[in-house]
Amino acid sequence: MFLENNVNHLKKLGWIEVICGSMFSGKTEELIRRLKRAEFANQKIIIFKPITDIRYSQNKVVSHDSNEIESIPVANSKKILELSKDVDVVALDEAQFFDNEVVDVSNQLANTGKRVIIAGLDMDFEGNPFGPMPYLMAIAEFVTKVHAICTETGNLANYSHRISKNKDLVLLGEREEYEPLSRNAFNEKLKTDVEEKLPMIDKVDMHSQFIEERVIDLETITDKLRNNGTHD
């Protein structure tokens, strides 16, 4: 369990905490837990989320277990600086969806003595580092990686496998769209996904080959007609 940094009351010091992991790993749960502890200690808190995240609520951060806390949706990271002047703790949820300026914004907040708590997916559905998360993890004093349970093996899961066929990078969803998987299970599913695409790829190749053959036939017929015209 994460314990808060020792506070030097003689000098107001800021820092950055990052909570990362796969879907269904409890990132938002942990974010809300830390915020409620700070709130209980009479610290002024403010929470932001990307304006695109409207899965459960327009103006709340809500976990998969329905725990919630009031939040402010923002379209860009610069807005966070404007709204965080008179608070002690600044929190960001779904940080992978923020623009890259969130890295500089987080540094500025911490440098002015604020505690910054960030939660987000560290990898996308293809297993690649997601958005600004790697950079946020690099500048953070504290990084907590939480895990889900693999739906295939029961082992710790740190990958988010997309079940739906939608290939957009940003796709907000729940259990209908994603499942948490361990490394081996994730690699097996990726292999299966590729194999399922192969018949379609073969059909496309066959269609392309058919078109090429028809073009060659037309060129041959055209040449013959030209030659016949020359002889006449």
Per-residue pLDDT of the chain (232 residues; tens, 9 = 90+): 666 666 555 667 899 999 999 999 999 999 999 999 999 999 999 999 998 865 544 554 554 454 667 889 999 999 999 999 999 999 999 999 999 999 999 999 999 999 999 999 999 999 999 999 999 999 999 999 999 999 999 999 999 999 877 666 555 555 668 899 999 999 999 888 887 766 654 544 545 554 565 545 556 655 665 666 655 5
pLDDT digits (tens, 9 = 90+) for 216-227: 555 665 566 566
pTM: 0.75
> Does residue 94 have an active-site annotation?
yes
Portion of the chain with pLDDT greater than 70, in percent: 68
In Å, how far are 110, 125, 208 from 157, measured between CA atoms?
31, 13, 41
Please tell me the distance from the alpha carbon of residue 117 to that of residue 19, in angstroms, as a whole number: 8
Portion of the chain with pLDDT greater than 90, in percent: 59
Nearest-5° Cα angle at 129, 128 to 131: 120
The residue annotated as part of the active site, out of 17, 94, 177, 213, is: 94
Name residues whose C-beta falls within 8 Å of residue 159's C-beta, 6 or more positions apart in sequence: 22, 123, 127, 180, 181, 182, 183, 185, 186
